[in-house]
């Protein structure tokens, strides 16, 4: 029954309860109002229940919404819409589809708001067939001209890579009825498909643009590594907002220009823009890859100074940053201070322990994570298998690799095989490593063959090393490092004829020794990078003099340098 058919006293009482529902900020407050609604039979009024559903959506109380909806005797189309919307927004898209079917069975005719929520639900659950059926219902019920429904349909088809279907829906929309959101959604579809020429063409045709339009195009160019176009667009945005700045910072980070990302963040704050949680997690991640502990600490201080909530995103980024910058102790302090920990947080701390050589503690952390009902994913097992590799825990690694497949039904990826091959190779189990590579369903990459080749170097197994090199030549024909490793092995075994053959092979194929290795060190917040045989650094003479003195002190102390492999 609707509000207008009720007694005036009931009308007043209902309006008061609706206002109270709007003011609810906790589940306890909502339950208190619900008690009055049930006592006064307002829980059967569709208008009041519509607001109740909206509040449930805001508080994430899907179970309560579904329970109360099931007790409404004659829900109207607006209440069905509200329940479908709650299900989608609370990440229960399958239940939204079930409610749609119940709606049709009850003879309640859907309208445009029904379809816009349902299409979003189909996108969330990646249900292409259901989505097409729902889109068919749009036409059947005369909602094909609704701009919100058609915009949702464009986004839905684009999420499946159906750019042709998205274009068809967009082209069927009358130009006069397309709003800026419809144009931007179609532009986003092109960007997702990597068709930046069509995205740029549409951008140029748009009668109106907003920040989302500019940011979408910037992000599209960033994904393809076209920094010049992304930077040009960013500089020409008429009115930058925080999302614009964050998008460009992420653009630099995605393309490994971490120093530029930090510089842009500082420019943003100096201009008075206040970053949000997404900005902070992005810039913290950039600091992690930059390896700068001083800059990372500076950003962490900014987080505390500006009273950011240490949520799972900022928290996991900080844990990862401190670990990658060499401060495992601080990484653990941040982790244990997090009030809420999701899978990303656990993965970050397990990876940190693994990288720093604390394999046993990484395994203990995995057990603790599982005891808290947070289940590992493929990323977790890459870290944990890497920990076993560093510590030489062969049997533990075997057991975990089998658990991953059997208990968690995770299909092994190249990364998992890489860890296991490296583990077997270091332990001298070269036959096991080669057998695992041969059993792989996917094609082994250069990293896997390279791990086995390195194991062959340690174990001086030239037979399997030659098998590795033959595979690596096909995968990376111009990589001189693989040839050099085998040359060093033959030389160490005094097989100079084989050394000559491989060098001739390299010369015949035009393969030269690649770029020298490099390293970097942070001094006073500045990153100094060095390459082998590079004398371009202004302090190179002093550095070399210090190294010569250090070498002399090592000789006087009878400290023998590591055996040096021969080169050209």
Q: Identify the residue whose tokens are 């371009």.
A: 536
Q: Where do the domains of the chain lie? A: 210-340, 518-556
Q: Is the pLDDT of residue 482 over 80?
A: no
Confidence tier at 165 by pLDDT (50, 70, 90): confident
Is pLDDT larger for residue 99 or for residue 197?
197
Distance CA 128, CA 387 (A): 40
| Residue among 460, 455, 395 at smallest CA distance from 430 | 455
CATH architecture of 210-340: Alpha Horseshoe (1.25)
pLDDT of 128 reads: 67
CB 423 within 8 A of CB 390: no
pLDDT tens-digit series, residues 352-371: 999 998 999 999 999 999 99
Confidence tier at 565 by pLDDT (50, 70, 90): very low
Is pLDDT larger for residue 57 or for residue 114?
57
Q: Identify the residue whose tokens are 């001086």.
A: 460
Distance CA 464, CA 406 (A): 30
pLDDT of 310 reads: 86
pLDDT of 154 reads: 87
Q: Average pLDDT of 165-179?
A: 86
| Contacting residues for 110 by C-beta, under 8 A, at least 6 apart | 77, 80, 100, 103, 104, 137, 141
């Amino acid at each position: 029954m609707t509000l207008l058919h009720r007694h005036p006293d009931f009308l007043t009482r209902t309006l008061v309860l609706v206002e109270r529902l709007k003011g609810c900020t906790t589940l306890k407050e909502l339950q208190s109002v619900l008690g009055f609604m049930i006592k006064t039979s307002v829980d059967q009024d569709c208008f009041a229940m519509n607001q109740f559903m909206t509040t449930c959506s805001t508080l994430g109380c899907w179970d309560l919404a579904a329970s109360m909806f099931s007790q409404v005797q004659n829900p109207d189309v607006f209440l069905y819409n509200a329940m479908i919307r709650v299900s989608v927004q609370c990440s229960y898209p399958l239940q939204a589809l079930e409610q749609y079917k119940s709606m049709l069975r009850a003879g309640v005719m859907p309208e445009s708001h029904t379809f816009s929520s349902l299409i979003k639900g189909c996108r969330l659950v990646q249900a292409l067939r259901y989505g097409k059926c729902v889109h068919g219902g749009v036409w059947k019920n005369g909602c094909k001209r609704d701009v919100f429904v058609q915009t949702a349909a464009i986004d839905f088809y684009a999420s499946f890579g159906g750019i042709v279907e998205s274009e068809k829906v967009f082209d069927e929309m009358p130009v006069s009825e397309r709003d800026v959101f419809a144009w931007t959604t179609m532009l986003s579809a092109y960007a997702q498909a990597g068709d930046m020429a069509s995205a740029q063409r549409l951008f140029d045709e748009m009668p109106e643009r907003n920040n989302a339009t500019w940011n979408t195009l910037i992000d599209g160019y960033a994904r393809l590594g076209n920094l010049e176009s992304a930077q040009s667009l960013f500089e020409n945005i008429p009115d930058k907002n925080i999302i614009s700045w964050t998008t460009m910072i992420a653009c630099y980070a995605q393309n490994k220009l971490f120093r530029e990302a930090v510089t842009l963040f500082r420019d943003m704050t100096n201009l008075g823009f206040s970053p949000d949680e997404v900005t902070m997690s992005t810039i913290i991640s950039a600091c992690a890859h930059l390896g700068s502990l001083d800059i990372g600490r500076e950003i962490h201080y900014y987080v505390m100074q500006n009273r950011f909530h240490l949520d799972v995103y900022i928290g996991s980024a900080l844990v990862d940053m401190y670990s990658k910058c060499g401060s495992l102790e601080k990484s653990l302090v941040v982790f244990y201070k997090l009030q809420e920990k999701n899978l990303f947080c656990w993965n970050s701390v397990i990876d940190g322990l693994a990288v720093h050589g604390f394999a046993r503690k990484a395994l203990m952390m995995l057990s603790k994570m599982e005891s808290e009902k947070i289940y590992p994913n493929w990323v977790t097992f890459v870290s944990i298998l890497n920990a076993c590799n560093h510590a030489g825990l062969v049997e533990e690694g075997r057991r975990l690799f089998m658990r991953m497949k059997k208990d968690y039904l995770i299909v092994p990826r190249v990364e998992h095989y890489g860890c296991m091959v490296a583990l077997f190779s270091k332990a001298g189990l070269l036959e096991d490593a080669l057998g695992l590579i041969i059993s792989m369903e996917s094609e082994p990459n250069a990293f896997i063959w390279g791990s086995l080749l390195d194991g062959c170097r340690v174990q001086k197994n030239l037979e399997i090393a030659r098998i590795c090199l033959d595979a690596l030549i096909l995968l990376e024909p111009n990589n001189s490092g693989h040839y050099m490793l085998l040359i060093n092995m033959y030389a160490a075994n005094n097989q100079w004829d084989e050394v000559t053959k491989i060098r001739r092979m390299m010369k015949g194929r035009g393969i030269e020794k690649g770029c020298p290795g490099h390293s970097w060190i942070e001094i006073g917040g500045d990153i100094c990078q060095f390459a082998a045989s590079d004398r371009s650094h202004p302090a190179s003479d002093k550095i070399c003099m210090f190294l010569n003195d250090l070498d002399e002190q090592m000789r006087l102390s009878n400290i023998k340098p590591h055996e040096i492999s021969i080169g050209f």
